[in-house]
Structure 1
Amino acid sequence: MSADIAVLGAGMHPWGKWGRSFVEYGRAAARAALADAGLEWADVQSIVGADTVRSGYPGYVAGATFAQALGWQGARVTSVYAACASGAQAIGAARAQILAGLADVVLVVGADAAPKGFFAPAGGDRPDDPDWLRFRLLGATNPAYFALYARRRMAVHGDTLEDFAQVKVKNAAAGALNPLARYRRPVTAEEVADSAVVADPLRLLDICATSDGGAALVLGSMDFARSRGVADPVRIRAVSTVTPTYPRTVLDLPDIATDSVTAVRPAPGSFRASIARAAYEEAGLGPGDLSLAEVYDLSTALELEWYEDIGLCAEGEGAKLVREGVTALGGRVPVNTSGGLASFGEAVPAQAIAQVCELTWQLRGTAGDRQVPRARAGITANQGLFGHGSAVVAVR
């Protein structure tokens, strides 16, 4: 049996700071995805919601919350949480139900109403969680963490502030062409350099904002797609939700052997690289088959890390791809054709779903002025706190 499932519909609520409930954003995205699929809510047999932990109990049971908002109709319901990887986990749960024959049509929804400023730890004390310890003991907010990665790239690989700025310039240019993006104007390298320092060396325009927004997908079996006359749909071919391999479980830095770990054979490469590697292996594809990629650009420097982690270049060569225009619109492998988080900001449970929405529109050839010519395959990639992998491969 084929492991492919069909993307029947994709929809989003525009990103911004709207000041309304996450339920409104998710319901709007769901309705847009259903309209795109040419289906009614009553046709959906299962709904999977990606949870938000910042919206109280309705956010913890997002699947049921969205089902209620759309109108109870008896659909199977699932709610999942995996921090920034929640959307990919939701897609994975929907795919499993379809391949198991439990449902022919599944609606996946994620939405968030993000607070202003840095994301604070949620869910109480977690002394075994390295990210909670980072926040509480070191006071290292996410921008500070991103800055440490940026400094390491500068020291080890020779990356420059100008390289980081060009990532923002590239993504802002794509976002200016996306009507769903929050920030829709081009940005110059000089504007990046002149923006306020948040965590040296990163400036304000090097770091993504927090946003409100929603995204949804209608997924179905290949048989159902054919029954609806859709002979060549965009297909999800792989979903990777792997976890780290001990001892490389906290920092993606070179291993330092000690007596406690010498008997353990670590997986090659970083945790982020293992996320993409699992997706490629399942899909039977490699980096050379990609037409485009959507990666989690929490900071400009981190996007360069993702180039290496998804295999677009060797370690330390990410900045070279930006300098040569390889990852820009019109380049050999455009990355973040949506505009990325640089243009959208973070709406945590929605973003991994939004990445697949962008792949869907690109692979259909309906992405308008940001269209990648003859797009045939793409990958999404991000990671959630506490060791959650997230990558999806879509093909046509």
Structure 2
Amino acid sequence: MTGDVAVLGAGMHPWGKWGRSFVEYGTAAARTALADAGLDWRDVTSVVGADTVRGGYPGYVAGATFAKALGWQGARVTSVYAACASGAQAVSTARTQILAGLADVVLVVGADAAPKGFFRPAGGDRPDDPDWLRFRVLGATNPAYFGLYARRRMALHGDTLEDFARVKVKNAAAGTLNPNARYRKTVSAEEVAASAVVADPLRLLDICATSDGGAALVLTSMEFARRRGVRDPVRIRAVSTVTPTYPTTVPDLPDIATDSAAGAEPQGPGFRASIARAAYEEAGIGPEDLSLAEVYDLSTALELQWYEDLGLCDAGEGAKLLRDGATALGGRIPVNVSGGLASFGEAVPAQAIAQVCELTWQLRGAAGDRQVEGARVGVTANQGLFGHGSSVVAVR
């Protein structure tokens, strides 16, 4: 049995700060995706919703919430949560249902209505949650975490503030070409440098905003696509949601805490690199086969790290790849031609789905002024906390 499923429809609700319910954004995106697929809502046999913990109880049962909003018609419902990887986990669940023969047409939906300012753990005190501990005990909000990443790159690889600014300039330029982006304005390196310091060395324009938005996909079996007369659809070939690999799965904490000689060097690729490697292995491709990539640029420095983790260049060479223009539209391996989070902001359960929407339009040759010429293979990647990360490979 092939591992491919067809992407017949892709749709989004534009990102912004609209002040309305996430349900409205998700249903709008769903209807757009269904229209794109040429299907009626009653053709859908399963709905997989990516949860948003900020949406109250309806957000915790997003599959059922979207099914109710679209009109009950007997479809199976599933809801998934995996922090920033929720959308990709929803895609994985839908793909599994199709390949298992449980459904022919699956609607995948994610949407968020994010609060202004820094994300905070939802649901009260949670001392067993590393996010809660990081925020409350260490005082390390997400921008502080991003700042540590940036400092590490500066110390290890010699990255500069100018390199970080180049990422924002590139992605902002791409965002001007995307009608779904929240920010559609070019930004200069001087504007990045002049913006307020949030978490040294990162400035305000180095860090993505929080946003409202929605995204949806209509996934089908290859047989269903053929019956509908679609002979060469975009196909999802791999979805990776693997966990990290460590030298030992049972850490001996007392020994490690008291004897530095007991420490062991990590083996194999790091977590983010292992996510990409698993996706490549499942898809039977390598980074050399890619036409484009959509990655989680939560900060400008994190995008540079993704270049290396995806194997687009060797470790420490991300900034050089950027300076050479390889990751810009028209370059050897364009990254975030959608505009990325720099242009959208973060709507957590929707963004990984939005990444696949962008791959779909690019692989169809339907991305307009931001089209990557001859696009045939694309990859997405995102980083979520508590081991929730993901990578999706789409081909045509």
TM-score, scaled relative to structure 2: 0.96
Q: How does 1:60-209 map to 2 (within 5 A)?
A: 60-209=60-209
TM-superposed CA distance for 1:128, in Å, is 3.8
2:252 corresponds to which residue? none
Following the alignment from structure 1 to structure 2, what is the Cα–Cα distance between the partners of residues 248 and 134? 24
Following the alignment from structure 1 to structure 2, what is the Cα–Cα distance between the partners of residues 120 and 129? 12
TM-superposed CA distance for 1:268, in Å, is 1.2
TM-superposed CA distance for 1:171, in Å, is 0.2
Q: Does 1:34 align with 2:34?
A: yes
Q: Structure 1: which 5+ runs fail to align?
A: 250-254
Following the alignment from structure 2 to structure 1, what is the Cα–Cα distance between the partners of residues 267 and 38? 44
Following the alignment from structure 2 to structure 1, what is the Cα–Cα distance between the partners of residues 306 and 143? 17
2:218 corresponds to which residue? 218
Following the alignment from structure 1 to structure 2, what is the Cα–Cα distance between the partners of residues 247 and 139? 30
Q: Structure 2: which 5+ runs fail to align?
A: 250-255
Q: How does 1:309-388 map to 2 (within 5 A)?
A: 309-388=309-388
SS in 2 for 1:268: coil
Q: Does 1:5 align with 2:5?
A: yes
Following the alignment from structure 1 to structure 2, what is the Cα–Cα distance between the partners of residues 383 and 127? 22
Question: Alpha-carbon deviations, 1:106-126, whole Å to 9, x = none?
Answer: 000000000000001123433
1:236 corresponds to which residue? 236
After TM superposition, the structure 1 stretch with the greater mean CA deviation from structure 2, 123-132 or 82-91, is 123-132
Following the alignment from structure 1 to structure 2, what is the Cα–Cα distance between the partners of residues 346 and 259? 42
Question: Alpha-carbon deviations, 1:31-52, whole Å to 9, x = none?
Answer: 0000000000000000000000
Residue type of the partner of 1:215?
A
For the structure 1 residues 247 and 132, does the alpha-carbon distance in structure 2 shift closer, same or farther, using more than 3 Å as the test? farther
Tell me which stretches of 4 or more aligned residues in structure 1 moved more than 6 Å: none
Question: Alpha-carbon deviations, 1:251-306, whole Å to 9, x = none?
Answer: xxxx99956554xx844121100110100000000000000000000000000000
SS in 2 for 1:132: helix
The answer as to whether partners of 1:248 and 1:271 remain within 8 angstroms in 2 is: no
Residue type of the partner of 2:334?
P
SS in 1 for 2:125: coil
The answer as to whether partners of 1:248 and 1:270 remain within 8 angstroms in 2 is: no
2:295 corresponds to which residue? 295
Following the alignment from structure 1 to structure 2, what is the Cα–Cα distance between the partners of residues 258 and 284? 40
Following the alignment from structure 1 to structure 2, what is the Cα–Cα distance between the partners of residues 24 and 219? 21
2:52 corresponds to which residue? 52
Residue type of the partner of 1:333?
I
The answer as to whether partners of 1:247 and 1:261 remain within 8 angstroms in 2 is: no
TM-score, scaled relative to structure 1: 0.96
The answer as to whether partners of 2:245 and 2:268 remain within 8 angstroms in 1 is: no
The answer as to whether partners of 2:29 and 2:214 remain within 8 angstroms in 1 is: yes
Question: Alpha-carbon deviations, 1:214-271, whole Å to 9, x = none?
Answer: 000000000000000000000000000111223699xxxxx99956554xx8441211
Identity %: 84
Residue type of the partner of 2:86?
S
2:253 corresponds to which residue? none
TM-superposed CA distance for 1:26, in Å, is 0.1
Residue type of the partner of 1:7?
V
The answer as to whether partners of 1:51 and 1:80 remain within 8 angstroms in 2 is: yes
Following the alignment from structure 1 to structure 2, what is the Cα–Cα distance between the partners of residues 17 and 300? 22
Following the alignment from structure 2 to structure 1, what is the Cα–Cα distance between the partners of residues 247 and 14? 40
The answer as to whether partners of 1:234 and 1:364 remain within 8 angstroms in 2 is: yes
Following the alignment from structure 2 to structure 1, what is the Cα–Cα distance between the partners of residues 82 and 336? 22
Following the alignment from structure 2 to structure 1, what is the Cα–Cα distance between the partners of residues 315 and 128? 30
Matched residue pairs, number?
Answer: 389
The answer as to whether partners of 2:84 and 2:389 remain within 8 angstroms in 1 is: no
SS in 2 for 1:79: strand
TM-superposed CA distance for 1:178, in Å, is 0.2
Following the alignment from structure 1 to structure 2, what is the Cα–Cα distance between the partners of residues 206 and 154? 15
